[in-house]
Structures are given as structure tokens and as C-alpha cells.
Structure 1
Amino acid sequence: MDKKIGNGLLICALVVFAVLIAGCSDQSSSGTTPVPTTAMPESKYVAGDIVAKSASSTDQMLYVITKYDPASDMYTRAWIYKNADGKWGHFIDNKVETVERFLVETVYPVKLAHVTVSAIPVVTTTIPTAVQTTASGSTPAVTGISPASGATDALAGATITGTNFENGATVKLMRAGYPSITATGVSVSSSTSIACTFKLSADEGSWNVQVTNPGGQSDTKYGAFTIGQAPPILTGVSPTTAELGVTQLPVTINGQNFNEGVRVTFVQGSTELNCVTPTSIDTTKITCILNMKIADGGKVGLWDVKVLNIEGQQTGTLTGKFSVSNSTST
């Protein structure tokens, strides 16, 4: 009898122990903390979308999105041009650029059209071959043009640099599908420099610069000149010096062609520091606040000042005109 009672008590104890273990197991599993997930940014556009500032845009060239990278939250885009029949389009080169998604969607809020990027051809300017029985003189070589851009419908003076320029040379701006723009007032000051004037058209985009010597020999620098919004030109910065570690330093930048929306950075090598809250007083002056903190990459030496016109993505740089010295305080 006593043996049966003892066995019963042992069985009851085992049951209670099992229930307790099961309860602990349930509490352990229910207390597991879920692993948080990070939402990826959502892009407004996809490859092939042609973006514009407004739905009523009549521009002959616009940006087309060629790729979106969610990891970096950046768009890759290229200029696309209308064909003679008014349809998009063609490229004039293989150039692309990568831009922050926020900037693209802010400046170009409208999807105007969609194309298949892989089906868009690259069309370059065809330079007609001069028919001549005897080629005389040296072949010119065009290395650059300054300034490299001008506003639409403007009268723009320019200096072309290179080699083997001869008196009597002619200068043209050329672009596929558009009439050439022939320079006036051409003056060959030396074999390496030509001064001239262009009456620019309303056709925005990248143009080729061609110089032809009197003997028919010519050279072309492709995509060397841009007709459109003029890029910012920086002429000065005030103050010109600062101590390392300074914060909340008011800075004024003087120049030309500053848009309402700008980004200002101070650059030294691979280091780029934002000058915060930039404000365009007018097209000739910008104010912003500079923090030259060591923790952000501040260092002694000469710095470049760079201004980006957000609309149009054009930049101007004032090279080596801002100096940072060691702070006298600790």
C-alpha cells in the first residue's frame, strides 16, 4: 500500500515538472525580439523615363533616366534629343552622369515620355569632306574653347586654343541635325589662339567646335561647347581665411550666374565640406555658413570653393583662394 502511494507521488511530481518546463519554454519563445528591417527608398522614375520641369516643356533636349541604384539612392541619366520628326530621339554621345534621387525628382518633377534606352541610337555630327585638288598648309588641332558655354540667343565672345592656326581660318559650332553656327570677327592672334564671336541659337545642348585653315585642313573638338544656362562664375570669397575647427562662420561668395537653388562646398583633394544654408542674394552673391571641424574632415591648407546650380547641374570653381590655418585655441 505504501509502495503504491509512493509511486503515485512520484508520477505527480514528474507531471508537475514537465508542465513547468513547458511553461518556461513558451515564455522563452514568446520573448524573442523581432529583427527590424530597413525600408529601401522608392524611386519615382525607372529607366527610359524622360523627365522635365513641367508638362508643357517644349525643350529639344531633356534628361532620360538610364538606371536607378537603390543601394546608393542615385539615378544615372543622359541627355536625349528630339529627331527631325519631333520624336525622342537620339543621343549625341555616350556620356552619362550619376545624381542624387532627391535632386532629380525635385528639379524635374514631371515624367514627359518613356523610351527604351537600348533602342536609342548615338548620332554624331558628320563633317563634310572638303573637295580639293591640292591640300596645302598644316592641319590645325583644337584643344579647347573659353568660355565653354553660353546662354541661348546670346552674342558670345570666345577664345579657341590649339596649334597650327593660320590667318584666314574659319570657326564653326556644329551639331547633328542642326544648322551650323559660323563665327564672326575671327582673329588669329597666333598659331595657338583664335578670338571670335558666335551668335548663339536657341537650340540648347552640346556643340562641336571646328576650325578650318584656308587650305581646307580642319580639326574638330567634339562636345566642347554648350548652349544653355550659363554656369556659375566665382570671382571671390570673403573671408579668405579661417582657423581649423571654426564653426558657424558666415561666408560670402561673389560672382555671376548664381541660380536661386545652389549648393556650396569647400574642396581639398578628396575632402568636400558643405557650406550650409546657402542663399543666393541675387545672381552675383551667395551667403552660407561654414563649419571647418576636424571631425568632418577639416584640415589646414588651401581650399577650392565650388558652387553648383542645382537646376541644370552646372558648376563653377574658385581654385585655392580659401586658406585654413591651425587654431590658436585648444
Structure 2
Amino acid sequence: MITCGAAQGARGVLGTGAYVPSRVIDNKDMSSLVGVSEEAILRKTAIRERRWAKPEEATSDLAVAAARAALEQAGIGAADLGLIVVATSTPDSPQPATACVVADELGAGHGTAAFDVNSVCSGFAFALSIADRMLAGTSAEYALVIGADVYSRILSPTDRRTTVLFGDGAGAVVLGPGGRQRLLSTRLASFGTARDLIGVPGGGSRMPATQETLREGRQYFAMDGRGVTEFVETRVVPGIEQFLADNGVRRDRTVHFVPHQANGRLLETMSRRLGIPSERMATTVTRYGNTGAASVPITLDQLARSGTVADGDLVLLAAFGGGMSMGLTLLRAG
């Protein structure tokens, strides 16, 4: 486990952006695809619809669109960036890094460092912390941090438990001096003993893609839903409580809660367990589903543009995902 205070120079979020594909998959569409009633999907997940990429759209396309929105709000150009980090577990291809594709499409300078981070749904939190620490040790002023995933490409239509949950999307922030929301503290942790709870078993060096693995569906995403729920209850909720306590944040302090949008019902349980009022929990899961590494920055963008965050308010980002992994970030507005 790694806990980091704000890096010297007190960087913050200068701009946010998000993008979701135009193709809407509502629960009626999903019911026809996987054979689960619309009512059951809503009751178990609180999801009403999600967005899926068009055939010609890849992760980098979504990432570029979100990045442009964040750069516009920040008031800087791609040429000003010293660093681009893309958090994704659904890259355009195994090689090269999707971040390099994004850098080229944005027109970033040839000297811009660009790389990917794969911590599954926790990836954005990991990428944000890495970017902050790297800026502290370089001459670069600005970093672009993106969470982007196209899970619709790795879902099995026969796995009704996972297919109903996921959507595609991208969210981005520009990190630099000052900023609307200052980074205060970050905590990153991984729990490798629980690595089998979430994953795509086929297609890597341990299980290369073959006709047999394709027939067996090993190229598809798999998840132990009950095990993930237990992980959240026993690791993530206590981890958030300890993180807030270590940062001197009282339960009655105004905190805007931006959790990973895993499942609407799970978020309700987390909010209740943590004692954070539902009106202080930012959500996008009802409209977009679980967008992987994109869910936290998409939701943060919605919160940042809502006008409900006052100067001095604290914003807690809480991501969790495969690995298993957890990333917590505390921001202060103003």
C-alpha cells in the first residue's frame, strides 16, 4: 500500500472532460440480447441504459474526444503537455500504447511522454497519482490523465451477469499548477491474492489466443460478482474510512463522494456503510453503466460542471477493480 501527500508545488485539476458514444443500449435492448427482463436488470443494478461504441470506434477515439474537452476547459493546447497517461484495460491493441495514439491524434509535441496504465477499474486513480509525482520531478507543467474503456468488445453475450453492467466511455483531466481542485492525498493498494475475481484469461502470454481458447470464450471478461461485493465490503469501505481518518476528515465534514460506478445497488450500500448522504454521492451509473477506468473521471466531470462544489469542499475519488486494486484520492476545491 502506498500513501502520498500532495507533491511539492500543489498541482490540481485545471480542466475535466468526458465522452460517451452516441449508441444507446437501454434495458429493453439488453433484455433481448441476454434474456433478462428489464425489471430485473433495473432492480439488481439500478442501470437504465449504457453507451456502446460503434464498430469503427476504438478506445483511443473515445479518449481523444474526452481529452479535447478537458484541454478546452483548462485553456491549454496539446503542445503544452509534458505527459499523457491513459488508464485502460481495453487498449486499441496490445502494442503500441494507446496513449501514443492519443498523443498523435491530439497533436502533442514529439517530446511528450505517453504511456498506458492498467489497473482495470482503478486505473484512473493510479494514473492520476503517477502523473502528479512525475510532474513534481520534471520541468513539465501539465499532464493529461485519461480513463477510457470499451468493454462492449470483451463482453460475452451469454454471460448475463456481466454484460448488463458495462458501458463504454472516456473521462479526462488536465493536471497542472494551481487548479480548480487541488490534490491533497492519494492511497493506492493492490491485493494479488484476489486476482482471480476479475479478468480476461485468454489472449496473453500465459494463455495465447488459439482456436480452442476462442471456442471456450476465454477472450471474454469474467467476474465473480459475489467475490467483488465481499472485497468492497471488507477492503474498500474500511479502506475509505481509514483514509479519511488519516487525513483528518470528520464524518460530518462536507465531502463529495465520487466512487467507481460498478453497480448502482453496490453504491447504495457503500454510501450507507460510510455514512455519506446519497445527495453527496455523484453517480452516472444509471445512464452509462460501469465504464471501467472511465467511470471515475466521467463522474468527476459531471460533478465539476454541475456547479454544486463550493470553494473549500472536499472531493473523494474512490476506485476499485481487478487485481484486485483500490485507488483513493482526496481533492479540495477552490
TM-score bin (small chain) = under 0.3
* TM-score normalised to structure 2 length: 0.23
Which has the bigger relative contact order, CA under 8 A and spacing at least 6?
2
In our comparison, the structure showing a higher alpha carbon Rg is 1
* TM-score normalised to structure 1 length: 0.23
User: Which is strand-richer, 1 or 2?
Assistant: 1
User: Which is helix-richer, 1 or 2?
Assistant: 2
